[in-house]
Structure 1
């Protein structure tokens, strides 16, 4: 008898990455792509003068968070990204928490990335081509001061 898949374990298969949700404060926004969810510990090198080893010791140093890049389609009368970017005035910007949630089949969050004190550093409008056959897509690059991950 063939296996109909009803007895498969839910922990065996990795999650697909095509269903996700992005929240800025409490507003939900639709994006086509999110990238740059990474963090690294910068290594510190040290060697004391009477060390018998002729090499340095490497220790974990400060954490460095990458900027997050998000892409979305251009919609008529939707200027939310540009409005937020235009709030930058002489080192002043409203920083917002940004939450990216990977969703399961039922639309419930399974993994959640939260960016602390996020603010836009760059916006790129769509390119225009007279013979193009693509959707207009704009890009925003966001700097932040911390990335936390939670599993629902």
Structure 2
């Protein structure tokens, strides 16, 4: 049943169209970068000094940033990133980002097309702090679109 309540953003999943993919490859601390903006071109009309006309040119998409705690588990996603960034062998992947309800069912779903890794980093190691090491993967992609989710 549909609800008018705002959706919370702490229960989500990320699923890559990658082989191999392991359990760790769907678990993330945060996902950021689902953002689209419109590039415009300004045109100054002769005799009109109050404003400029702005014409839309094309959409632009922000990089997708995925963060998770580093584990010793085997990760297909890490292997994919290393293959691209170390060996310069790129295999674009599609992925699905889903916001989930309390039962684990998707309430909002976004399809991200043709993603490639452009950055792979680890948080600082510090002997004076007892913090989890965070693995950050930055992806560049062509576009995203929201997919319809049937209401049950």
Same fold, TM exceeding 0.5?
yes
Does the aligned pair in 2 maintain the 1:110–1:151 contact within 8 Å?
Answer: no
Residue ranges of structure 1 left out of the alignment (5+ in a row): 1-8
For 1:129, the equivalent position in structure 2 comes to 126
Q: Is 1:52 paired with 2:44?
A: no
1:75 aligns with 71
Higher relative helix content: 2
Within 5 A, what are the aligned runs for 1:82-101? 82-88=78-84, 89-90=87-88, 92-101=89-98
Which structure has the greater CA radius of gyration? 1
Runs (4+) off by over 4 Å: none
Task: Give RMSD over aligned pairs.
Answer: 2.0
Question: Would you say how many aligned residue pairs link Structure 1 and Structure 2?
Answer: 141
Superposed displacement of residue 149, structure 1: 1.2
Aligned counterparts of 2:78 and 2:32: Cα–Cα separation in 1: 20
How much does 1:43 deviate? Answer: 1.4
Give the distance between the partners of 2:12 and 2:124, measured in 1 at CA: 25
Structure 2: runs of 5 or more not aligned: none
